[in-house]
Structure 1
Amino acid sequence: MQRPLYSGIKIFNSSKGWLNVRFVSSVKEKQVVVEELPAWTKPLSCRPDPKLARRRREPNNSFRNSLSAYYELGKPKLTALVVLSAMSSYALAPAGGSLAELAFLTAGTTMCSAAANSINQGREPEFDRQMARTRTRPVASYRLTSKDAYTYAAIIGSAGVATLWYGTNGVVAALGAANIYLYGITYTSMKRTSIANTWVGAVVGAIPPLMGWATCSSLMAPQPWILAGMLYSWQFPHFMSLSYTIGEEYKRAGYQMAGWTNPQLASRVSLRHALAMFPLCFAAAYFGITDAYFTIDSSLLNGWLAWAAYKFWQQQRKNGSKNYARILFLVSVIHLPGILVLAMLHKKGQWDWVSSMF
C-alpha cells in the first residue's frame, strides 16, 4: 500500500496565529482530499469574477458611472422604505401637515440613511464579494474605494443631520445621527460576531417612525411607539426568511445569522413577530392613530404574513425546504408598504367630512 503524499501551506490570522492547511493526495486511489477550513480562513473566492478583477485593474472614472456608483452606495430601495416609514408616521401624527416640515424630514432622513448604508458597504467589501446579492455593490465591485464610501458618508451624513436640525428639531436630528451610528458601526460590527445583530438591526428600522412623529408631536405618548413596534416586528419575518434562504452565502462570508446558525430559531422568531402585527394594528386603532376599519383591512395583510410565516416554520421543522422561506420574504416586501398605506388611508378623523355631508 502506497503512502499518501503530503503538501501544505500556512495562513496567518491575527487572532489565531499561523494555521497549517494540509492537502492530502493518495497516489494509489488518485484522490485529493482537502482539509476543511474554518469560515474565517477561507479564501475570498475560489474562482474570482473576471469582471471584478478587470474593474480592479482598470477603474472607470467617468462622471456618469461615478454618479451611478454613489447613488447605489446609499442602497436606494432600502432608503426608500426607511423614508416611507418616516413620512407615513409624520402623516399619521395629529399635528402633521406642513409641506416644508415634511420636505426637510424627507431630505434629512434620505441623507442619513444613505450615509449609514455607505459606511456599511465601506467596511465590508471583501465579504460582500463572496455573496451573489452583494458582490455588485460599488465598493465590492471596485467602482469605488472604502475611502470614497467613508468620505461620501461623512459629507452626506453631516448634511442630513444638519437638515433635520434646521428643518425639524433637535430630537429628530439626534435620532438620525443615532441611526447612522447604530447601523454603520454597531450593527455592521456585530454581523460577524453574533446573531444578535438582527435584533440591533430591527431597532435601527424602528427609529424612522419615531423621527416622523417627533417632527411635529411628542414622543411621550404610546402612539409613536406603536408605529415603531410595527417596523420592529416586521423586520424579523422579512430578514429571517432572507437569511435562511441564502444561509450558505452568509456562512461562506462569515456572517453570523440565525438563518444558518439556528434555522429553528429563525422560523420561530418569524412566526412570533408576524403574529405580533395583529395586536400592534389593533392598538393603532385603539389609541386613535387610525379609525376602527383599519383593524379589518390590516388583518387581511397580517393574516397573509402570518400564514406564510407559519408555513415557513412548519416546513423548516419537517424537511428544511426553502420554498416557504422565499414566499415569506416576498410577502413581507408587499406587506409593510401595504400596512403603512392603509394606516394613512384610515387616519383617525380623515373621513369625517364625508359623514358631515349627510
Structure 2
Amino acid sequence: MSVNKAALADHPAAETQTASAGVVPAPPGAVEISSSAAPGAGSLAGDLLELSKMRVNLLALVTVFAGFALGLRTSTGGSLASLLSSQNGWLLLHVLVGSFVLAAAASMLNQYMERAPDALMERTAARPLAAGRFPAALARTLGILLSLLGLAYLFVLVNPVCAAVSAVTAGVYVFFYTPLKRITSFSLLVGAFAGALPPVIGLTAATGELLPAGWSIFTIQFIWQIPHFLAIAWIYREDYARAGFPMLTVVDREGKATALQVVGWSLALVPASLMPAAVFGFAAGFYFWMALGTSSLFLAFAVSFAIKRTSERARRLVIASVIYLPALFIALVLGA
C-alpha cells in the first residue's frame, strides 16, 4: 500500500491540487458514498448534524452495542436478558451517549483539520466548514469541549477502562490518522486501528476490563475496514486525485494493486470472522456457520470487484460490507 508520489503528480486529474491538499477525506469505516449533504444542511441544525457525521457514527454505535451485549453474554453468569435490567439498561445508554458525543467531537476536529482539501472535492465541498457556512474556530472549540465532555461522561458514568479505550480511539483518529493522510496511504492501517475499537469500548463498558473476546472482535472490524474503504476510494479515485490525495487507488491506475489488497484482506476476514468460535469457543454452532457464510459472501464480492474493477462493482462491495458487519455482530451476540 505504498504511495508513489511521482505517479500522483503525473495523474491527469491532479492538475488542480494545491499545497494544502494531501489528505483522505473519509475515515476508514465510513459508509457515506454520496456527495449529497445531510437533510437540513445549510441550517444550523443541519450543519451540526453534518459536522457530527451522524450517519457514519450510527454504524459505530451499532458495534458499541454489539460489544456491550457480547460482554454481558460472556461474563460470569451473564445473559442477554440482563440487558433489560435497570442497571445494565442505564449503563448501555450512558456508553452510547458518551461514545456518540466523543465520535461527533472527533468528526468535528477531523473536518476542521481537513477543511481546505475538502473544498477541492465534489464529494465533500458541501460540508459546512469546506463551504464556509460554519465558523472554523467555533467548530474547533466545539470539538475540543465535546471531546472533554464525552471522556468525562464515560469516566464517571461508565468506567475508567471504557473511558481510556475511548480516549485512545479519538486520539489516534485525530492526532495520528488525520495528519498521516497527508503523507502516506499507510494511514489507512492507522485509521483502521481507531475504527476497530468501538466494539471494545462497548465490551469494556459491560465488563470493566479488557477480555480476549474484545480483541477478537477488534480484529474482525480492523480487517473489515480495509476492503470497505478501498472500495469507496476506488469509486471516488478521480475526485481524490483532483485534491492530490496520496492514495493507492489514485496512483494504481489499472487497479491491480488495489484489487490484490481488497481480495487479500477479504480473504483474511474469513478466518478472523471464525476466530471467536474457533479460538475462544464462546460462539460455536450457529455463529460458526453464519460467520463462514457471510465472510465467504463478502469475499465473493471482493473477487468480483477484482475481476472487473468498475465503480458499480465497488458499490456492490461497499453495500455487502455494510450488511456483513452488523449481521455478523448480531449473530455473534445471539450465538454466544
Which range, TM-score by smaller chain? 0.7 to 0.9
2:170 is the alignment partner of 1:180: yes
2:47 is the alignment partner of 1:69: yes
Give the match for residue 242 of structure 1.
Answer: 232
Deviations 1:43-96 (A, max 9, x none): 9xxxxxxxxxxxxxxxxxx9x921221121110111111111111011011236
Secondary structure at 1:254's aligned position in 2? coil
Return the letter of the residue paired with 2:230.
M
Going from structure 1 to structure 2, the CA distance change for 1:179 and 1:42 (only over 3 Å counts) comes to: closer
Contact 2:61 2:96 in 1 (8 A): yes
Deviations 1:187-235 (A, max 9, x none): 1111121001111110011111111111233655421101001110110
| CA distance in structure 2 between the partners assigned to 1:298 and 1:234 by the alignment | 13
Give the match for residue 7 of structure 2.
Answer: none
Give the match for residue 6 of structure 2.
Answer: none
Contact 1:75 1:114 in 2 (8 A): yes
CA RMSD across the alignment? 2.5
Secondary structure at 2:143's aligned position in 1? helix
Return the letter of the residue paired with 1:247.
R
| CA distance in structure 2 between the partners assigned to 1:145 and 1:190 by the alignment | 25
Give the match for residue 281 of structure 1.
Answer: 273
TM-score scaled by structure 1? Answer: 0.75
Q: CA deviation at 1:299?
A: 2.3
Give the match for residue 81 of structure 1.
Answer: 59
Q: CA deviation at 1:137?
A: 1.2
Matches within 5 A, 1:324-339: 324-339=313-328
Correspondence for 1:40 among 18, 43, 62: 18
Give the match for residue 290 of structure 1.
Answer: 283
Return the letter of the residue paired with 1:68.
G
Correspondence for 2:69 among 91, 95, 98: 91
Name whichever structure is richer in strand by fraction: 1
Correspondence for 1:268 among 242, 260, 263: 260
Q: Which has the larger radius of gyration?
A: 1
Deviations 1:325-349 (A, max 9, x none): 2221221122212212222222x2x
Matches within 5 A, 1:1-358: 37=15, 39-40=17-18, 65-93=43-71, 94-95=74-75, 97=83, 98-217=88-207, 219-262=209-252, 263-286=255-278, 287-316=280-309, 321-346=310-335, 348=336
Return the letter of the residue paired with 1:297.
M
| CA distance in structure 2 between the partners assigned to 1:198 and 1:264 by the alignment | 18
TM-score scaled by structure 2? Answer: 0.80
Higher RCO (C-alpha 8 Å, min separation 6): 2
| CA distance in structure 1 between the partners assigned to 2:193 and 2:172 by the alignment | 9
Return the letter of the residue paired with 1:65.
S
Quick one: percent identity of the two aligned structures?
26
Secondary structure at 1:144's aligned position in 2? coil
Q: CA deviation at 1:42?
A: 9.7
Secondary structure at 2:18's aligned position in 1? helix
Return the letter of the residue paired with 1:232.
F
| CA distance in structure 2 between the partners assigned to 1:211 and 1:42 by the alignment | 34
Deviations 1:157-179 (A, max 9, x none): 11110111012211211221222
| CA distance in structure 2 between the partners assigned to 1:185 and 1:110 by the alignment | 19
| CA distance in structure 2 between the partners assigned to 1:289 and 1:340 by the alignment | 13
Contact 1:122 1:145 in 2 (8 A): no
Deviations 1:237-284 (A, max 9, x none): 110111112111111112222111233332222212212222122221
Deviations 1:97-126 (A, max 9, x none): 411211111011101111111001111122
Contact 1:92 1:289 in 2 (8 A): no
Name whichever structure is richer in helix by fraction: 2
Going from structure 1 to structure 2, the CA distance change for 1:223 and 1:256 (only over 3 Å counts) comes to: same
| CA distance in structure 2 between the partners assigned to 1:102 and 1:342 by the alignment | 19
Going from structure 1 to structure 2, the CA distance change for 1:312 and 1:99 (only over 3 Å counts) comes to: same
Q: How many residues align?
A: 292
| CA distance in structure 1 between the partners assigned to 2:20 and 2:63 by the alignment | 39
Contact 1:210 1:224 in 2 (8 A): yes
